[in-house]
Structure 1
Amino acid sequence: MTAWVLRATVFGALVVGLRLLLGFAMATAPTYGIVWRTACLVLIVGAAAAWGLRDGRAADGTDLTVRWMSAGAVAGIGSGAVCWLLDQVPGIALGDSGALFELTSAAAFILLLIFLPALAGIGYGRFRARKAAETAPAVGATQLAPA
Protein backbone atom coordinates (compact mmCIF):
# COMPACT_ATOMS: atom_id res chain seq x y z
CA MET A 1 0.00 0.00 0.00
CA THR A 2 1.29 3.42 -0.89
CA ALA A 3 2.51 5.39 2.13
CA TRP A 4 0.15 8.34 1.65
CA VAL A 5 -2.87 6.04 1.16
CA LEU A 6 -2.21 4.41 4.52
CA ARG A 7 -1.94 7.79 6.22
CA ALA A 8 -5.07 9.10 4.48
CA THR A 9 -7.06 6.03 5.47
CA VAL A 10 -5.96 6.11 9.10
CA PHE A 11 -6.53 9.83 9.54
CA GLY A 12 -9.81 9.79 7.61
CA ALA A 13 -11.10 7.01 9.86
CA LEU A 14 -9.80 8.84 12.93
CA VAL A 15 -11.62 12.04 11.95
CA VAL A 16 -14.88 10.20 11.23
CA GLY A 17 -14.64 8.28 14.51
CA LEU A 18 -13.90 11.40 16.52
CA ARG A 19 -16.74 13.31 14.87
CA LEU A 20 -19.13 10.49 15.71
CA LEU A 21 -17.93 10.48 19.32
CA LEU A 22 -18.16 14.26 19.42
CA GLY A 23 -21.72 14.17 18.10
CA PHE A 24 -22.71 11.63 20.73
CA ALA A 25 -20.93 13.56 23.51
CA MET A 26 -22.55 16.84 22.48
CA ALA A 27 -25.98 15.20 22.52
CA THR A 28 -25.50 13.75 26.00
CA ALA A 29 -23.53 16.54 27.70
CA PRO A 30 -23.69 19.74 25.63
CA THR A 31 -22.37 21.94 28.42
CA TYR A 32 -18.95 20.29 28.09
CA GLY A 33 -18.69 21.05 24.39
CA ILE A 34 -15.41 22.96 24.65
CA VAL A 35 -13.81 20.02 26.46
CA TRP A 36 -14.98 17.50 23.85
CA ARG A 37 -13.88 19.66 20.92
CA THR A 38 -10.49 20.38 22.46
CA ALA A 39 -9.89 16.70 23.18
CA CYS A 40 -10.69 15.77 19.57
CA LEU A 41 -8.43 18.52 18.26
CA VAL A 42 -5.55 17.44 20.50
CA LEU A 43 -5.93 13.80 19.41
CA ILE A 44 -5.78 14.62 15.71
CA VAL A 45 -2.90 17.08 16.02
CA GLY A 46 -0.99 14.78 18.38
CA ALA A 47 -1.39 11.76 16.10
CA ALA A 48 -0.22 13.72 13.06
CA ALA A 49 2.78 15.16 14.92
CA ALA A 50 3.77 11.77 16.32
CA TRP A 51 3.56 10.04 12.94
CA GLY A 52 5.46 12.93 11.35
CA LEU A 53 8.16 12.63 14.03
CA ARG A 54 8.47 8.92 13.25
CA ASP A 55 8.70 9.67 9.53
CA GLY A 56 11.30 12.38 10.09
CA ARG A 57 13.55 10.08 12.08
CA ALA A 58 13.21 7.20 9.61
CA ALA A 59 13.45 9.06 6.28
CA ASP A 60 16.84 9.33 4.65
CA GLY A 61 16.47 12.70 3.02
CA THR A 62 13.27 11.85 1.15
CA ASP A 63 10.75 14.62 0.61
CA LEU A 64 7.71 13.94 2.78
CA THR A 65 5.81 17.12 1.96
CA VAL A 66 3.79 15.75 -0.96
CA ARG A 67 3.14 12.49 0.91
CA TRP A 68 1.56 14.30 3.85
CA MET A 69 -0.22 16.87 1.67
CA SER A 70 -1.86 14.08 -0.34
CA ALA A 71 -2.77 12.18 2.81
CA GLY A 72 -4.30 15.27 4.41
CA ALA A 73 -6.27 16.21 1.31
CA VAL A 74 -7.72 12.74 0.79
CA ALA A 75 -8.43 12.33 4.51
CA GLY A 76 -10.18 15.71 4.61
CA ILE A 77 -12.33 15.17 1.53
CA GLY A 78 -13.04 11.54 2.36
CA SER A 79 -13.96 12.17 5.97
CA GLY A 80 -16.11 15.13 4.93
CA ALA A 81 -18.03 12.98 2.46
CA VAL A 82 -18.50 10.16 4.96
CA CYS A 83 -19.57 12.53 7.73
CA TRP A 84 -22.06 14.22 5.42
CA LEU A 85 -23.52 10.84 4.49
CA LEU A 86 -23.68 9.78 8.14
CA ASP A 87 -25.37 13.06 9.04
CA GLN A 88 -28.21 12.14 6.67
CA VAL A 89 -28.98 9.03 8.76
CA PRO A 90 -31.72 9.69 11.33
CA GLY A 91 -30.40 9.52 14.87
CA ILE A 92 -26.84 10.55 14.02
CA ALA A 93 -26.19 14.22 14.69
CA LEU A 94 -22.94 15.60 13.33
CA GLY A 95 -23.85 19.26 13.02
CA ASP A 96 -26.17 19.44 10.00
CA SER A 97 -23.49 20.84 7.70
CA GLY A 98 -24.16 20.81 4.00
CA ALA A 99 -22.22 18.82 1.44
CA LEU A 100 -20.56 21.95 0.03
CA PHE A 101 -19.25 22.92 3.46
CA GLU A 102 -18.05 19.39 4.26
CA LEU A 103 -16.22 18.97 0.96
CA THR A 104 -14.58 22.42 0.94
CA SER A 105 -14.16 24.25 4.24
CA ALA A 106 -14.20 21.27 6.58
CA ALA A 107 -11.90 19.31 4.25
CA ALA A 108 -9.43 22.22 4.12
CA PHE A 109 -9.48 22.48 7.92
CA ILE A 110 -8.81 18.76 8.31
CA LEU A 111 -6.03 19.01 5.72
CA LEU A 112 -4.33 21.70 7.80
CA LEU A 113 -4.90 19.79 11.05
CA ILE A 114 -3.01 16.86 9.56
CA PHE A 115 -0.44 18.54 7.33
CA LEU A 116 1.01 21.25 9.58
CA PRO A 117 1.63 19.14 12.71
CA ALA A 118 3.05 16.34 10.55
CA LEU A 119 5.55 18.75 8.96
CA ALA A 120 6.50 20.07 12.39
CA GLY A 121 7.03 16.49 13.55
CA ILE A 122 9.10 15.70 10.47
CA GLY A 123 11.31 18.71 11.08
CA TYR A 124 11.85 17.82 14.72
CA GLY A 125 12.42 14.16 13.87
CA ARG A 126 15.07 15.03 11.29
CA PHE A 127 16.73 17.38 13.77
CA ARG A 128 16.83 14.61 16.38
CA ALA A 129 18.15 12.07 13.88
CA ARG A 130 20.88 14.46 12.78
CA LYS A 131 21.89 15.11 16.40
CA ALA A 132 21.96 11.38 17.15
CA ALA A 133 24.13 10.74 14.08
CA GLU A 134 26.58 13.47 15.12
CA THR A 135 27.02 12.16 18.66
CA ALA A 136 27.24 8.46 17.72
CA PRO A 137 30.76 7.11 17.22
CA ALA A 138 31.67 6.25 13.67
CA VAL A 139 31.23 2.62 12.69
CA GLY A 140 34.56 0.85 12.56
CA ALA A 141 36.36 3.53 14.52
CA THR A 142 38.86 2.11 16.97
CA GLN A 143 39.39 3.60 20.32
CA LEU A 144 42.80 3.36 21.89
CA ALA A 145 42.77 2.44 25.53
CA PRO A 146 45.24 4.31 27.72
CA ALA A 147 48.19 2.16 28.71
Structure 2
Amino acid sequence: MTVWVLRAAVLGALVVGLRVLLGFAMASAPTYGTLWRTACLVAIVAVALAWGARDARAVAGGDLTVRWLSAGLVAGLSSGAVCWALDQLPGVELGGSGALFELTSAASFVTLLIFLPAMAGVGYRRMRSRRSPETAPVTSEPELVAAR
Protein backbone atom coordinates (compact mmCIF):
# COMPACT_ATOMS: atom_id res chain seq x y z
CA MET A 1 0.00 0.00 0.00
CA THR A 2 1.39 3.36 -0.90
CA VAL A 3 1.99 5.80 1.90
CA TRP A 4 -0.60 8.40 0.93
CA VAL A 5 -3.41 5.83 0.75
CA LEU A 6 -2.96 5.02 4.44
CA ARG A 7 -3.14 8.70 5.32
CA ALA A 8 -6.20 9.21 3.13
CA ALA A 9 -8.01 6.22 4.64
CA VAL A 10 -7.26 7.14 8.26
CA LEU A 11 -8.03 10.84 7.88
CA GLY A 12 -11.14 10.16 5.76
CA ALA A 13 -12.42 7.77 8.42
CA LEU A 14 -11.63 10.37 11.09
CA VAL A 15 -13.65 13.00 9.22
CA VAL A 16 -16.62 10.64 8.78
CA GLY A 17 -16.49 9.57 12.41
CA LEU A 18 -16.31 13.12 13.67
CA ARG A 19 -19.16 14.22 11.42
CA VAL A 20 -21.35 11.39 12.68
CA LEU A 21 -20.49 12.26 16.29
CA LEU A 22 -21.15 15.91 15.51
CA GLY A 23 -24.57 15.01 14.08
CA PHE A 24 -25.53 13.10 17.21
CA ALA A 25 -24.14 15.82 19.47
CA MET A 26 -26.04 18.53 17.63
CA ALA A 27 -29.26 16.53 17.91
CA SER A 28 -28.83 16.04 21.65
CA ALA A 29 -27.45 19.46 22.63
CA PRO A 30 -27.89 21.98 19.80
CA THR A 31 -27.01 24.96 21.98
CA TYR A 32 -23.40 23.77 22.17
CA GLY A 33 -23.01 23.65 18.38
CA THR A 34 -20.09 26.04 18.26
CA LEU A 35 -18.20 24.03 20.85
CA TRP A 36 -18.84 20.71 19.04
CA ARG A 37 -17.80 22.09 15.65
CA THR A 38 -14.66 23.69 17.07
CA ALA A 39 -13.65 20.48 18.83
CA CYS A 40 -14.04 18.47 15.61
CA LEU A 41 -12.08 21.04 13.64
CA VAL A 42 -9.26 21.10 16.18
CA ALA A 43 -9.09 17.29 16.22
CA ILE A 44 -8.66 17.03 12.44
CA VAL A 45 -6.12 19.85 12.30
CA ALA A 46 -4.12 18.40 15.21
CA VAL A 47 -3.92 14.93 13.64
CA ALA A 48 -2.85 16.32 10.25
CA LEU A 49 -0.31 18.65 11.87
CA ALA A 50 1.24 15.92 14.00
CA TRP A 51 1.34 13.40 11.16
CA GLY A 52 2.93 15.95 8.83
CA ALA A 53 5.62 16.71 11.41
CA ARG A 54 6.24 12.99 11.87
CA ASP A 55 6.59 12.53 8.11
CA ALA A 56 9.13 15.34 7.89
CA ARG A 57 11.22 13.66 10.53
CA ALA A 58 11.03 10.25 8.86
CA VAL A 59 11.66 11.51 5.31
CA ALA A 60 14.69 13.76 5.55
CA GLY A 61 14.72 16.00 2.52
CA GLY A 62 12.06 14.25 0.43
CA ASP A 63 9.15 16.13 -1.11
CA LEU A 64 5.96 15.55 0.87
CA THR A 65 3.70 17.98 -0.98
CA VAL A 66 2.23 15.52 -3.48
CA ARG A 67 1.85 12.84 -0.79
CA TRP A 68 -0.24 15.09 1.42
CA LEU A 69 -2.17 16.70 -1.43
CA SER A 70 -3.17 13.26 -2.71
CA ALA A 71 -4.12 12.10 0.78
CA GLY A 72 -6.19 15.22 1.40
CA LEU A 73 -7.97 15.02 -1.94
CA VAL A 74 -8.87 11.35 -1.61
CA ALA A 75 -9.88 11.79 2.03
CA GLY A 76 -12.08 14.75 1.10
CA LEU A 77 -13.83 13.03 -1.79
CA SER A 78 -14.29 9.72 -0.01
CA SER A 79 -15.50 11.26 3.24
CA GLY A 80 -17.94 13.42 1.31
CA ALA A 81 -19.35 10.41 -0.53
CA VAL A 82 -19.62 8.34 2.65
CA CYS A 83 -21.23 11.19 4.61
CA TRP A 84 -23.77 11.72 1.83
CA ALA A 85 -24.60 8.00 1.83
CA LEU A 86 -24.92 7.96 5.63
CA ASP A 87 -27.14 11.03 5.52
CA GLN A 88 -29.62 9.06 3.40
CA LEU A 89 -30.13 6.53 6.23
CA PRO A 90 -33.01 7.16 8.61
CA GLY A 91 -31.89 8.24 12.07
CA VAL A 92 -28.55 9.65 10.93
CA GLU A 93 -28.58 13.41 10.56
CA LEU A 94 -25.48 14.98 9.02
CA GLY A 95 -26.95 18.23 7.79
CA GLY A 96 -29.00 17.19 4.78
CA SER A 97 -26.46 18.33 2.20
CA GLY A 98 -26.81 17.05 -1.31
CA ALA A 99 -24.33 14.94 -3.24
CA LEU A 100 -23.15 17.93 -5.30
CA PHE A 101 -22.27 19.90 -2.16
CA GLU A 102 -20.55 16.94 -0.47
CA LEU A 103 -18.42 16.11 -3.52
CA THR A 104 -17.40 19.69 -4.30
CA SER A 105 -17.51 22.19 -1.46
CA ALA A 106 -17.20 19.82 1.48
CA ALA A 107 -14.52 17.76 -0.27
CA SER A 108 -12.42 20.82 -1.08
CA PHE A 109 -12.76 22.08 2.50
CA VAL A 110 -11.63 18.74 3.92
CA THR A 111 -8.77 18.63 1.40
CA LEU A 112 -7.47 21.98 2.61
CA LEU A 113 -8.20 21.08 6.23
CA ILE A 114 -5.81 18.14 5.87
CA PHE A 115 -3.24 19.53 3.43
CA LEU A 116 -2.47 22.91 5.01
CA PRO A 117 -1.85 21.73 8.60
CA ALA A 118 0.20 18.78 7.32
CA MET A 119 2.41 21.14 5.32
CA ALA A 120 2.70 23.43 8.34
CA GLY A 121 3.84 20.43 10.39
CA VAL A 122 6.37 19.47 7.72
CA GLY A 123 7.69 23.02 7.57
CA TYR A 124 7.92 23.34 11.33
CA ARG A 125 9.76 20.04 11.75
CA ARG A 126 12.23 20.81 8.97
CA MET A 127 12.90 24.29 10.31
CA ARG A 128 13.42 22.87 13.77
CA SER A 129 15.74 20.13 12.53
CA ARG A 130 17.94 22.69 10.75
CA ARG A 131 18.40 24.58 14.00
CA SER A 132 18.89 21.49 16.12
CA PRO A 133 22.41 21.02 17.49
CA GLU A 134 22.11 17.28 16.78
CA THR A 135 22.15 17.88 13.02
CA ALA A 136 24.58 20.78 13.03
CA PRO A 137 28.08 20.02 11.84
CA VAL A 138 30.44 19.29 14.68
CA THR A 139 33.19 21.84 15.03
CA SER A 140 36.11 20.81 17.08
CA GLU A 141 37.60 23.22 19.53
CA PRO A 142 41.26 23.93 18.94
CA GLU A 143 43.32 22.16 21.50
CA LEU A 144 45.63 24.24 23.59
CA VAL A 145 49.18 23.05 23.26
CA ALA A 146 51.31 23.60 26.28
CA ALA A 147 54.51 25.47 25.60
CA ARG A 148 57.57 23.39 26.37
TM-score, length-normalised on structure 2? 0.91
**CA offset at residue 144 of structure 1?**
6.6
| 3-state SS in 2 of match to 1:19 | helix
Letter of the 2:56 counterpart: G
Q: Write the deviation string for residues 81-119 of structure 1: whole angstroms up to 9, x where unpaired.
A: 000000000000000000000000000000000000000
| 3-state SS in 1 of match to 2:94 | coil
TM-score, length-normalised on structure 1? 0.91
Give the Cα–Cα distance (whole angstroms) in 2 for the partners of residues 104 and 89 of structure 1: 21
Give the Cα–Cα distance (whole angstroms) in 1 for the partners of residues 25 and 2 of structure 2: 35
- Given that residues 76 and 111 in structure 1 are in contact (C-alpha distance below 8 angstroms), is that contact kept between their aligned partners in structure 2? yes
Q: Identify the residue that residue 96 of structure 1 maps to in structure 2.
A: 96
| 3-state SS in 2 of match to 1:97 | coil
Larger Rg belongs to? 2
Distance 1:51 1:146, change over 3 A: farther
Give the Cα–Cα distance (whole angstroms) in 2 for the partners of residues 15 and 106 of structure 1: 11
- Given that residues 81 and 102 in structure 1 are in contact (C-alpha distance below 8 angstroms), is that contact kept between their aligned partners in structure 2? yes
- Given that residues 57 and 128 in structure 1 are in contact (C-alpha distance below 8 angstroms), is that contact kept between their aligned partners in structure 2? no
Letter of the 1:68 counterpart: W
Fraction of identical pairs, as percent: 68
Q: Write the deviation string for residues 35-72 of structure 1: whole angstroms up to 9, x where unpaired.
A: 00000000000110000111112212111000000000
| 3-state SS in 1 of match to 2:62 | coil
| 3-state SS in 2 of match to 1:62 | coil
Distance 1:23 1:143, change over 3 A: farther
Count the aligned residue pairs.
144
Give the Cα–Cα distance (whole angstroms) in 2 for the partners of residues 53 and 102 of structure 1: 29
Greater than 2 Å deviation, 4+ residue runs: 141-147
* Higher mean displacement: 71-80 or 124-133: 124-133
* 1:1-147 alignment, distance < 5 Å: 1-132=1-132, 133-134=135-136, 137=138
Give the Cα–Cα distance (whole angstroms) in 1 for the partners of residues 145 and 14 of structure 2: 57
- Given that residues 45 and 113 in structure 1 are in contact (C-alpha distance below 8 angstroms), is that contact kept between their aligned partners in structure 2? yes
**CA offset at residue 137 of structure 1?**
4.1
Unaligned 5+ residue runs, structure 1?
Answer: none
**CA offset at residue 146 of structure 1?**
9.6
Letter of the 1:64 counterpart: L
Give the Cα–Cα distance (whole angstroms) in 2 for the partners of residues 76 and 32 of structure 1: 26
Unaligned 5+ residue runs, structure 2?
Answer: none
Distance 1:84 1:142, change over 3 A: same
**CA offset at residue 127 of structure 1?**
1.1
